[in-house]
Amino acid sequence: MPNNFFRETDSLFTEILSRFGREIFFQPKLLPIVKDLSPKRRDLHTAFRVIFKENLFAQSIKNRGDLTLFFDKLIRLGIPKKTADEIFSSYATVLGIDTEPALTIVKTVMATKPKRIPQTLSGKFSQCGYVDLSGNLFTWGANEFGSVGSFPDTPESDYREPIMQKRLLLTGIKSVSMGSSHTLALKFDGTLLGFGENRFGGMGFDMPEFCPVPKPIMRGIAYADCGGTLHSYAVKFDGSLINLRTPNSAPILSDVVTVSAGMLHTLCVTSDGSLYAWGENRFGQLGDGTKTSRTTPVFIMSDVIAAYTGIYHSVAIKSDKTLWTWGLIPDIENDGAAEIQQILPICFMSNVVTAAAGELHTLAVKTDGTLWAWGKNFYGQLGDGTTVNRPLPVKITDNVEEVSAGVCCSFCRKKDMSIWSWGLNENCELGDGTEINRLSPVKIK
């Protein structure tokens, strides 16, 4: 990890240490000091609130050098990974602990436990958004129902026109999830905002049917994800999972870490690594060995740390970094000329840290930061410079940290925080200022 990545927080910690002494790191009054010295870093403010609420500094000092609990708590409570890495490394320096072993602990924790890592990049359908480290949300793409949001300088008559290039919509945002016609944006304080179409109650029936201006839906939310027009899910601070259409009903599941809402099916992972699925199952996308749709969660498999829904298939990553997939997937034996309906999860790839699933294509990032893609490629959504379908993974690019897959388009965020897009662009979903399909990744930020 490049040293200059930590420069800002290292400088902050060093200044605090020189001005107030080491003991200030174990006192709640450190939070206002951090806010004063780094007023724009809302991610740091939220992280320090978590640190003091959970008493993490004091706990970590009891067992010098073992900071596993410290980092684990930051991640499990929804602090962005880059922010957690940043604080972790700087805090290790303050304690006089060698940074390299500390970062080894980070990698171990991240690889073996379910993660509630905020989505800072989302592009499931024909619109996309990303959140930068300062909490600024940028959106672009199809805006027929206001799902990209209205802007101060946009006339009302243009709300339904595509936004061709990224534009700043909101600040103070931790994560974003963009459905087919509505969007959820989660603030650092746990306030969930929604905007776009709501005729079917995807954002809750207390919201208007058409809402181009972001409005609060509820508070106390740790994670949220929206699928098609019909449903969205949120995980509360206490780990309970709710459907936004029926927020006052009994929780669907408890102790939930993360949830992924597809067009018509849903996956979620609990803190013990159990994967559950429910919804449409015509192609075996639930992975329970049947093609029977389910109205309540069914257990699929254990030892899972992350799961992703496509339109017709699903993907999960286990703690050993193996990637598993099921549903409508390429027929490898027939060179990918057609799809097969895989009703049980199969192990497909190793050394994977994150992934994304589109309509009929999949993206995966390996431990070395390389991005791989496979599946349908009619519009160049794989990003390999062709429109040739690929039943097996092909390497696309390097230095990738996060990916998102639309129906027929793809997005990635690299380690230098640059955003890249490729594939179908008929609704300006790529954000490059054109309506031209791209067969290879194009940098848009």
Say if pTM beats, i.e. exceeds, 0.75.
yes
Q: What is the pLDDT of residues 135-190, one digit of tens each?
A: 889 888 888 778 888 765 565 444 555 676 677 788 888 899 998 888 999 988 88
Is 60 exceeded by the pLDDT of residue 20?
yes
**DSSP letters of 247-260?**
TTSPPSBSSEEEEE
CA atoms within 13 A on the CB side of 7: 4
Please give the average per-residue pLDDT across 81-91, as a whole number.
74
Task: Determine what percent of the chain is predicted with pLDDT higher than 70.
Answer: 82
Model pLDDT, residue 155: 52
Tokens (6 digits) for 408: 């027929």
Model pLDDT, residue 193: 94
**Are the C-beta atoms of residues 73 and 91 closer than 8 Å to each other?**
no
CA atoms within 13 A on the CB side of 402: 22
Rounded to whole angstroms, how far apart are CA atoms 383 and 410?
A: 8
Please give the average per-residue pLDDT across 362-373, as a whole number.
97
Q: Are strands 352-357 and 361-366 parallel, antiparallel or unpaired?
A: antiparallel
Q: What is the pLDDT of residues 273-288, one digit of tens each?
A: 999 999 999 999 999 9
Which CATH code for domain 121-443? Answer: 2.130.10.30
Model pLDDT, residue 4: 40
Task: Determine what percent of the chain is predicted with pLDDT higher than 90.
Answer: 44
**Are the C-beta atoms of residues 50 and 56 closer than 8 Å to each other?**
yes
- Of 86, 95, 98, nearest in space to 4 by CA: 86
Model pLDDT, residue 421: 95
Is 80 exceeded by the pLDDT of residue 195?
yes
Q: What is the pLDDT of residues 21-48, one digit of tens each?
A: 766 766 777 788 888 888 878 778 878 8
| Position 76 confidence tier, pLDDT thresholds 50, 70, 90 | low
If you count DSSP H runs as helices and E runs as strands, how many of each does the chain have, helices first?
7, 27
Q: Where are the domains of the chain?
A: 3-112, 121-443
- What are the contacts of 70-76 at 24+ separation with CB within 8 A? 71/105, 71/106, 71/109, 72/109, 72/113, 74/47, 74/50, 75/109, 75/110, 75/113, 75/115, 75/116, 75/117, 76/113, 76/115, 76/116, 76/257, 76/271
Range ranked top by mean pLDDT from 124-128, 393-397, 434-438: 393-397
Is 60 exceeded by the pLDDT of residue 112?
no
